[in-house]
């Protein structure tokens, strides 16, 4: 019998309207032009179907010239003989009668015959709730997290999530609401079927149809008495086929099949019941029927799950690679061969090797956390040995060096949470020193982990025991341990079976039981000393003794029964029976036979050195997150084990590979590759490395709180000793073992710290830094520029860079000329301005205080309180914020604004700022006006600073209205006093009548605390100069003399007074003075400017 598309669609086992295979799914995608199919292959090669509810998914592959293949299941014409089966358009073979026959697929001049046999079609066999019904409920979506599998169920009906608890689900179905969900006498009237088919209202919609095989299966189970069969065979594992298929082009499809294997040895095709999900929806999308559609070139994992079993495959969409030709490359070690094999499969050409200067900087930073010194770069580049030989020698030199030890100690201090919050200063220092000794002696990784997991005694005398002081309950210990040493995330299966992995809820509590017998008691040497504590949780002893109690169990949250200790998977290398539970677990975890232990750590090392793991994230191994190069990961794990878990050996092996040494420069064939290591990927320097690199390049001594001057950031003893720069650049807080605690992005806040933050400024400006000493000692400008580039970028400058550097040395001279011209241009109009000022100076200025109607801040913790005198008091934890205040007024003119910064006893140091010393930095002040008559209209009011009663050095009031977020008005050291500033207002148009004035005050200072704490705002419409409120006696005496009768000396005195009150003249004069001062140290300033530019260059910020 020959089937057309419409015939086949009629026979599909409908799951639900939402699950119907769409017309789009059957639309045939175009095949690649010019292909020649030389043969067909069918899987399975023969079909045996036993029972009316069984089926087989067929996959027809076309063999092409050249050895490639593609999926032709939907392209080939299908016919059957024997009338025993029907075949859907996408290749599902279902029984219609007992007997034998053939399914014949034809494509072009190629055909293939599949022998077919059907048995048991007419037999009424027992339907298993566990093996048959629950998978159907899952496929119809009944027990999913968005439906009845939700925490509290839906509509008063709850099932276990994804059917992990058969007993609970059977009781919910058969016992709830008086067993009314089933009608054994009239199964079709069962509420379960009526709702699922939409025959009665159902919030979840139609989930199946009356003529579907799923409906018939559930109906049969009901008619057989809704029996529960807990002894039914369970799924042991599933297999997905094809394994890692390659699809030629975008917009093509690939059918996959899923077979389940059961405890009784039987198998079943479960392609339609399995859940198939794309791990990268930008590369492929998956349909419920197992049909995958490619969207663009790339590779993506596909996760398949069925009844608690999981499997994965990776789909490769090759895309158009016309013209590609593989070029063999030298293999430095086995890593290169395995990487190249994958690249050849993906038709990717690797980049060329990086240059020697790129390599020396890269390997120093990766292995030691420090860039090379200029001397180290020069010596390496001058080495006349061939590049491969001297690179390998450098790797050997760096691995195990003092700088290496500090760098890798810092990494493990993150992972083991060296944090005085949990351990106190004594415990933190002791644990870090133990880690440092372990790194320095190259302690085998399995021994290192074993010592952590089995540590007993005082956490100061035996520091790895601190692991059990930081983590204080069995569940937390289990979750952290599996995450840290196996890269397996067990926390998702605490409340139910893991939704995306094979781990069960039972295994969660069984594994936790290994930590149930850990005891803690106060170390008598530190009796009475406590750490931590809150209203919720009591304080813990500062130092504790860890021991095995020999008793203690874990209670299963769902069953409320004791969970005996048991491993979630087995291997043959187990501890002796007399071992404690912790010793049993530690032996099991650190065994060479543990499938995750060695593999997880070599993947971490690879991720640290390449910026992306073979499994990424590097601490998340699971079926749905397969390695991008499984053979490479396996080979590295074997190498690690065979070399007795020697970490230094693995680092040498990786760094000596050609793959590690590839350039960041891509080519036509690898420019879109991010996961196959065909070229290096630039990585932003981690916080501590960046901090240390800045100080190493400038030769300045680092000054970190709580440690001696010159300490590296990588040497900080624990998370309690930190720095705002390190925090901004992602230094982890060490409160979990997750690699996600460290951030490596580039966002606005940290970028501003590089541009104008104190860390960079102090390092560059340090008068005793090596950089500034170099200016004095090296008189040759060319050599000076060479040395600076070697220090910062580990290379000499290009010719254009050298010219720019030399120009920077001469930069201040140009700045002086520019500043003089600006001041001269301003002075040309000064006489007219002074005359107008003299005319109006004697008239009084009348100020009207503004009463706030609305006050808000961009920082949620900030609170405002308006007082009777119309002043505003600010409270709450300050932040980097912007105040916005609205004032209703009735005015006839708007010529000036007065800001009073007020002292107050409630503020730090009596204010007027909210910083600890009482200061503030007003970065920007802006005003707009909205007329009541036209609420949609906003009138801009540009402001010009006139004067302030006091200006902090370098923080003049003009900086508050210069549109520069890095400048501003401040008043140090005059704290605890009232201050004021006057601003000339120049509205874009006349303002009269009732309106609302909106004042915006922005505070950008880097510590995020320098905000105003108490203030008052006033306006005036006076035409009198704003600073004319009170005339000093000397000024009044001068003004009393008619202009025509003033002596030359009096004229000059008056000019000097006016200039001192003209904010723009003061600003321009200050700029000229600064430029002239810089001119005196032109060469040093130029070097500092060049250093600043290089620090802010991606070549410095990233390891390339």
Instruction: State the pLDDT at residue 19.
Output: 35
Please, are residues 1029 and 845 in contact by the beta-carbon 8 Å criterion? yes
CA gyration radius for the chain?
A: 38
What average pLDDT does the segment 868-879 reach?
A: 93
How many other C-beta atoms can be found within 10 angstroms of the C-beta atom of residue 378? 17
Least confident window among 81-85, 336-340, 732-736, 1055-1059 = 1055-1059
Instruction: State the pLDDT at residue 1044.
Output: 84
What average pLDDT does the segment 227-252 reach?
A: 94
Please give the angle made by the CA atoms of 46, 49 and 51, to the nearest 5 degrees: 175
What average pLDDT does the segment 515-524 reach?
A: 96
Note the pLDDT tens digit of each residue in 367-390: 999 999 999 999 999 999 999 999
Identify the band that residue 182 occupies on the pLDDT scale cut at 50, 70 and 90: confident
Please, are residues 753 and 725 in contact by the beta-carbon 8 Å criterion? yes
What average pLDDT does the segment 7-17 reach?
A: 34
Going by the DSSP 8-state scheme, the letter that residue 922 receives in this structure is B
Task: Write the DSSP assignment of 398-453 as a string of letters.
Answer: HTTSHHHHHHHHHHHHHHTT--HHHHHHHHHHHHHHHHHHHHHTT--HHHHHHHHH
What average pLDDT does the segment 74-92 reach?
A: 94
Please give the angle made by the CA atoms of 557, 560 and 563, to the nearest 5 degrees: 80
The single residue listed with the structure tokens 């990268």 is 280
447-478 burial by CB neighbour count: b if 16+ within 10 A, else e?
Answer: ebbbbbbbbbebbbebbbbbbbbbbeebbebb
Query: Mapping DSSP to helix (H, G, I), strand (E, B) and coil, where does residue 305 land?
Result: strand
* CB proximity list for 935: less than 8 A, separation 6 or greater: none
Quote the CA–CA distance of 1016 and 12 in Å, as a whole number.
77
Strand-pair category, 1102-1103 with 683-684: antiparallel
Task: Write the DSSP assignment of 650-698 as a string of letters.
Answer: HHHHHHTSTTTTB-S---TTTTT-SSS-SS---EEPPHHHHHHHHHHHH
Instruction: State the pLDDT at residue 1.
Output: 43
Residue 136 predicted with pLDDT over 80: yes
Structure tokens at 254: 């690939």
Burial class (CB in 10 A: 0-12, 13-18, 19+), 123: exposed
Start-to-end C-alpha separation, the chain: 64
Residue 510 predicted with pLDDT over 60: yes
Quote the CA–CA distance of 526 and 424 in Å, as a whole number.
12
Query: Mapping DSSP to helix (H, G, I), strand (E, B) and coil, where does residue 229 land?
Result: coil
Within 794-886, where are the H helices? 799-809, 811-827, 830-840
Least confident window among 348-357, 839-848, 898-907 = 839-848
- Name the residue with higher pLDDT: 1022 or 693: 693
Residue 15 predicted with pLDDT over 70: no
Instruction: State the pLDDT at residue 179.
Output: 65
Note the pLDDT tens digit of each residue in 698-720: 999 999 988 899 999 999 988 88
Note the pLDDT tens digit of each residue in 485-508: 999 998 888 887 777 778 888 899
Note the pLDDT tens digit of each residue in 999-1024: 999 998 878 889 999 999 999 887 76
Q: Which parts of 453-594 are beta strand (E)?
A: 457-458, 518-522, 530-531, 540-541, 544-548, 554-555, 562-563
Identify the band that residue 17 occupies on the pLDDT scale cut at 50, 70 and 90: very low
Residue 22 predicted with pLDDT over 70: no
The single residue listed with the structure tokens 């291997």 is 571
Please, are residues 279 and 620 in contact by the beta-carbon 8 Å criterion? no
Least confident window among 18-22, 144-148, 292-296, 569-573 = 18-22
Please, are residues 83 and 37 in contact by the beta-carbon 8 Å criterion? no
How many other C-beta atoms can be found within 10 angstroms of the C-beta atom of residue 660? 25
Instruction: State the pLDDT at residue 1026.
Output: 67
Residue from 850, 857, 922 nearest 890 by CA: 850
Partnered with residue 1001 across adjacent β-strands are 883, 925
Please, are residues 240 and 277 in contact by the beta-carbon 8 Å criterion? no
Identify the band that residue 10 occupies on the pLDDT scale cut at 50, 70 and 90: very low
Note the pLDDT tens digit of each residue in 1070-1100: 888 877 777 767 788 889 989 999 999 999 9
Please, are residues 864 and 999 in contact by the beta-carbon 8 Å criterion? no
What average pLDDT does the segment 580-602 reach?
A: 97
Please, are residues 589 and 453 in contact by the beta-carbon 8 Å criterion? yes
Question: Which domains, and CATH codes, for the chain?
Answer: 5-119 (2.60.40.1080), 129-223 (no CATH), 235-317 (2.60.40.1080), 428-486+489-592 (no CATH), 683-766 (no CATH), 784-842+1031-1104 (no CATH), 844-1026 (2.60.120)
Residue 25 predicted with pLDDT over 70: no
Identify the band that residue 812 occupies on the pLDDT scale cut at 50, 70 and 90: low
Within 297-401, where are the H helices? 334-346, 356-368, 374-382, 387-398
Instruction: State the pLDDT at residue 1079.
Output: 72
Structure tokens at 923: 């970065």
**What's the pTM?**
0.75
Instruction: State the pLDDT at residue 8.
Output: 33
How many other C-beta atoms can be found within 10 angstroms of the C-beta atom of residue 24? 8
Going by the DSSP 8-state scheme, the letter that residue 845 receives in this structure is -
Q: Is the dihedral of CA 442, 604, 396, 417 positive or negative?
A: negative
For the chain, what is the mean pLDDT? Answer: 90
Q: Is the dihedral of CA 25, 26, 32, 38 positive or negative?
A: positive
Residue 109 predicted with pLDDT over 70: yes
Quote the CA–CA distance of 1042 and 1050 in Å, as a whole number.
11
Partnered with residue 1073 across adjacent β-strands are none
Q: Is the dihedral of CA 1058, 1060, 1064, 1066 positive or negative?
A: positive
Within 712-798, where are the H helices? 724-728, 748-756, 758-765, 770-777, 781-793
Residue from 1002, 1005, 982, 1017 nearest 917 by CA: 1005
Please, are residues 791 and 1090 in contact by the beta-carbon 8 Å criterion? no
What average pLDDT does the segment 260-272 reach?
A: 96
Q: Is the dihedral of CA 775, 776, 778, 782 positive or negative?
A: positive
Quote the CA–CA distance of 301 and 615 in Å, as a whole number.
11
How many other C-beta atoms can be found within 10 angstroms of the C-beta atom of residue 827? 14
Please, are residues 117 and 100 in contact by the beta-carbon 8 Å criterion? yes
Strand-pair category, 110-119 with 47-50: parallel
How many other C-beta atoms can be found within 10 angstroms of the C-beta atom of residue 157? 17
Instruction: State the pLDDT at residue 644.
Output: 98
Quote the CA–CA distance of 598 and 177 in Å, as a whole number.
53
Note the pLDDT tens digit of each residue in 310-323: 999 999 999 999 99
Quote the CA–CA distance of 618 and 603 in Å, as a whole number.
6
Residue from 746, 711, 717 nearest 729 by CA: 746
Quote the CA–CA distance of 886 and 997 in Å, as a whole number.
6
């Amino acid at each position: 019998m020959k089937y057309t598309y419409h015939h086949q669609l009629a026979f599909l086992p409908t799951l639900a309207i939402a699950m119907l295979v769409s017309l789009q799914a059957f639309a045939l995608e175009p095949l690649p032009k010019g292909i020649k199919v030389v043969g067909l292959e069918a899987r399975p090669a023969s079909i045996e179907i036993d029972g009316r509810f069984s089926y087989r998914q067929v996959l027809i592959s076309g063999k092409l010239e050249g050895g490639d293949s593609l999926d032709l299941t939907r392209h080939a014409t299908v016919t059957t003989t024997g009338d025993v089966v029907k075949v859907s358009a996408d290749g599902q073979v279902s029984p219609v009668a007992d007997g034998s026959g053939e399914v014949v697929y034809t494509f072009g001049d190629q055909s293939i015959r599949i022998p077919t046999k059907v048995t048991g079609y007419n037999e009424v066999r027992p339907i298993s709730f566990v093996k048959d019904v629950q998978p159907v409920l899952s496929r119809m979506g009944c027990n999913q997290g968005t439906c009845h599998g939700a925490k509290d169920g839906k509509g008063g009906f709850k099932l276990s999530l994804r059917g992990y608890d058969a007993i609970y689900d059977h009781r919910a179905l058969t016992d709830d609401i008086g067993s009314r969900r089933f009608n054994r006498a009239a199964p079709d009237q069962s509420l379960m079927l009526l709702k699922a088919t939409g025959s009665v209202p159902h919030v979840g919609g139609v989930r199946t149809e009356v003529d579907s095989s799923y409906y018939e299966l559930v109906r049969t189970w009901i008619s057989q008495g809704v029996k529960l069969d807990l002894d039914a065979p369970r799924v042991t594992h599933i297999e997905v086929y094809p394994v890692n298929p390659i699809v030629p082009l975008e917009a093509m499809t690939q059918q996959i099949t899923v077979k389940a294997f059961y405890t009784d040895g039987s198998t079943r095709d479960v392609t339609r019941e399995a859940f198939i999900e794309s791990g990268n929806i930008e590369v492929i999308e998956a349909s419920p029927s197992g049909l995958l559609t490619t969207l663009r070139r790339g590779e993506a994992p596909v996760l398949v799950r069925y009844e608690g079993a999981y499997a994965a495959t990776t789909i490769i969409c090759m895309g158009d690679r016309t013209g590609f030709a593989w070029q063999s490359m030298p293999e430095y070690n086995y890593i290169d061969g395995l990487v190249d094999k994958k690249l050849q499969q993906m038709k990717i050409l690797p980049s060329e090797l990086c240059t020697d200067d790129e390599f020396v900087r890269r390997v120093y930073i990766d292995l030691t956390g420090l860039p090379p010194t200029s001397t180290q770069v020069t010596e390496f580049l001058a080495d006349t040995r061939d590049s491969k030989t001297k690179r390998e020698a450098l790797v050997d030199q760096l691995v195990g060096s003092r700088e290496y030890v500090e760098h890798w100690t810092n990494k493990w201090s993150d992972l083991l949470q060296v944090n005085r919050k949990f351990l106190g200063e004594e415990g933190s220092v002791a644990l870090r020193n133990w880690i440092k000794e372990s790194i320095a002696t190259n302690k085998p990784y399995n021994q290192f982990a074993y010592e952590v997991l089995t540590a007993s005694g005082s956490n100061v005398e035996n520091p790895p025991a601190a692991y059990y002081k930081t983590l204080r309950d069995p569940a937390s210990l289990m979750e952290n341990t599996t995450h840290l040493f196996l890269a397996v995330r067990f926390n998702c299966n605490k409340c139910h079976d893991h939704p995306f992995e094979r781990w069960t809820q039972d295994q969660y509590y069984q594994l936790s039981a290994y930590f149930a017998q850990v005891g803690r008691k106060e170390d008598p040497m530190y009796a009475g000393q406590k750490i931590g504590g809150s209203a919720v949780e009591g304080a813990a002893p500062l130092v504790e003794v860890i021991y095995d109690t020999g008793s203690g169990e874990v209670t299963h949250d769902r069953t409320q029964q004791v969970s005996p200790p048991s491993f979630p998977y087995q291997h043959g290398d187990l501890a002796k029976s007399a071992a404690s539970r912790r010793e049993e677990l530690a032996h099991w975890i650190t065994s060479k036979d543990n499938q995750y232990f060695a593999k997880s750590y070599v993947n971490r090392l690879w991720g640290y050195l390449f910026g992306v793991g073979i499994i990424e994230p590097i601490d998340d191994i699971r079926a749905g997150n397969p390695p991008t190069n499984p053979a490479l990961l396996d080979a590295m794990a074997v190498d690690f084990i065979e070399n007795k878990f020697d970490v230094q050996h693995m680092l040498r092996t990786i760094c000596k590979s050609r793959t590690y040494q590839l350039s960041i420069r891509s080519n036509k064939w690898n420019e879109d590759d991010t996961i196959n290591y065909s070229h290096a990927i630039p990585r932003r320097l981690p916080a501590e490395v960046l901090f240390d690199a800045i100080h190493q390049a400038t030769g300045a001594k680092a000054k970190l709180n709580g440690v001696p001057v010159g300490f590296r950031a990588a040497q900080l003893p624990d998370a309690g000793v930190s720095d705002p720069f390190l925090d901004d650049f992602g230094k982890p807080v060490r409160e979990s073992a997750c690699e996600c605690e460290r951030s490596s992005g580039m966002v606005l806040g940290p970028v501003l710290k590089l541009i104008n933050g104190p860390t960079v400024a102090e390092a560059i400006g340090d008068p005793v830094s090596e950089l500034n000493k170099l200016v004095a000692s090296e008189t040759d400008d060319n050599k000076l520029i060479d040395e600076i580039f070697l220090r910062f970028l580990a290379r000499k400058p290009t010719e254009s860079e050298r010219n720019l550097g030399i120009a920077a040395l001469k930069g201040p001279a140009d700045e002086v000329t520019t500043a003089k011209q600006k001041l001269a241009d301003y002075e040309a109009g000064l006489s007219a301005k002074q005359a107008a000022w003299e005319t109006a100076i004697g008239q009084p200025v009348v100020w009207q205080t503004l009463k706030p109607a609305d006050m808000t801040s961009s920082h949620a913790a900030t609170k405002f309180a308006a007082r009777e005198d119309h002043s505003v008091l600010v409270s709450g934890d300050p932040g980097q914020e912007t105040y916005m205040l609205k004032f209703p007024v009735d005015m006839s003119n708007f010529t000036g604004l007065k800001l009073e910064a007020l002292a107050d006893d409630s503020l730090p140091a009596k204010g007027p700022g909210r910083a600890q010393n009482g200061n503030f930095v007003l970065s920007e002040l802006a005003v707009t006006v909205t007329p009541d008559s036209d609420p949609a209209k906003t009138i801009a009011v540009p402001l010009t600073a006139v004067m302030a009663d006091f200006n902090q050095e370098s923080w003049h009031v003009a900086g508050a209205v210069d549109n520069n977020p890095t400048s501003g008005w401040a008043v140090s050291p005059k704290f605890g006093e009232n201050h004021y500033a006057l601003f000339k207002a120049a509205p874009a148009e006349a303002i009269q009548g009732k309106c609302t004035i909106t004042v915006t005050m922005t505070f950008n200072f880097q510590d995020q605390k320098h905000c105003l704490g108490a203030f008052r705002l006033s306006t005036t419409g006076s035409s009198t100069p704003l600073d004319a409120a009170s005339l000093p006696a000397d000024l009044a005496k001068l003004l009393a003399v008619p202009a025509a009768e003033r002596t030359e000396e009096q004229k000059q005195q008056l000019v000097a007074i006016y200039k001192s009150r003209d904010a723009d003249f003061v600003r321009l004069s200050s700029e000229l003075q600064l430029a002239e001062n810089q001119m005196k140290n032109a060469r040093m300033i130029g070097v500092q400017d060049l250093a600043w530019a290089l620090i802010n260059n991606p070549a410095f910020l990233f390891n390339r």
